[in-house]
Chain A
Amino acid sequence: MKLNPFVPSTQASSLIPLLLLIAVACSIVSIGIGAIRIPPLEVIQALFDSSGSINARIVQELRLPRIVVALICGALFAVSGTMLQGVVRNPLASPDLVGVGAGAGVFAVITLILLPSAPSWLLPVGAFVGAWLGFALVLLLAQKGGEIAPVRVALIGIAVGAALGAVQQLILVRAPDDIGHALIFLAGTVYGADWSRVERLLPWLALLPVAWVLAYKLDVLAFSDDVASGLGMRLMLARVVCMSVAVALAAAAVTGVGVLGFVGLIAPHAARLLIGAKHTFLIPTSGLLGAILVVCADALGRGLIPPIEVPAGILTTLIGAPYFLALMRQQGKIK
Chain B
Amino acid sequence: MRLETQHLSLGYEDKIIVEDLNLTLEMGKITTIIGSNGCGKSTILRSIARLLKPKMGAVLLDGKAIHTLPSKTVAQQLAILPQTPTAPEGITVEALVRFGRYPHQKFLQPRNPQDDLAIEQALEQTKMLELRTRPLETLSGGQRQRAWIAMSLAQDTPILLLDEPTTYLDIKHQLEVLHLLEELNAKTGKTVVMVLHDLNQAARYSHQLIAVQDGRVMAQNTPELVLTNQVVRDVFGIEAHLILDPSNGKPHVIPFALAVKK
List the interface of chain A (C-beta within 8 A of B). 3-7, 145, 213, 216, 219-220, 222-224, 226-227, 229-234, 276-278
Contact = CB atoms under 8 A, between A and B. Distances in A.
B8 interface: no
B13 interface: yes
B75 A232 contact: yes
Contact of B71 (A5, A227, A233, A278): A233
A223 B80 CA distance: 13
Contact of B82 (A145, A224, A233): A224
Nearest to A89: B86
B80 A3 contact: no
Given A4-B89, A6-B90, A231-B103, 12 more contacts: A4-B90, A145-B12, A220-B102, A223-B87, A224-B85, A226-B80, A226-B82, A230-B79, A231-B155, A232-B74, A234-B71, A276-B90
A81 to B, nearest CB: 17
Q: Report, as a range, how many residues of chain B touch the other chain.
A: 35 or more
Contact of A3 (B75, B90, B155): B90
B205 interface: no
A223 B86 CA distance: 6
Contacts of B74: 232
Interface of B: 12-13, 46, 49-51, 71-76, 79-92, 95, 99-100, 102-103, 108, 110, 135, 137, 155
B72 A226 contact: no
A7 B79 contact: no
A223 B99 CA distance: 10
A207 B124 CA distance: 41
B118 to A, nearest CB: 14
A223 B72 contact: no
A260 to B, nearest CB: 26
Nearest to A225: B51
Nearest to A277: B88
Contact of B99 (A213, A219, A224): A219
Contacts of A226: 46, 51, 80, 82-83, 85
Contacts, number: 82
Nearest to A144: B13
Question: Majority SS of interface residues in chain A?
Answer: loop
Contacts of A277: 88-91
Contacts of A3: 89-90, 135, 137
A278 B99 CA distance: 12
Contact of B86 (A224, A232, A233, A234): A224
A223 B75 contact: no
B102 A232 contact: yes
Contacts of A219: 88, 99
B103 A232 contact: yes
Nearest to B53: A146
A60 B91 CA distance: 46
A226 B79 CA distance: 11
A213 B108 contact: yes
Contact of B92 (A5, A229, A233): A5
Contacts of A230: 49-51, 75, 79-82
Closest 5 CB pairs of A and B: A232-B75, A226-B82, A232-B72, A232-B103, A222-B88
Contacts of A231: 75, 99-100, 102-103, 155
B90 A216 contact: no
A162 B82 CA distance: 38
B95 A6 contact: yes
A145 to B, nearest CB: 6
Contacts of B85: 223-224, 226-227
A220 B99 contact: yes
Contacts of B46: 226
Contacts of A216: 110
Nearest to B72: A232
B86 A227 contact: yes
A7 B92 contact: yes
A229 B90 contact: no
Given A226-B51, A229-B51, A232-B75, A6 B89 contact: yes
A213 B100 CA distance: 19
A227 B82 contact: yes
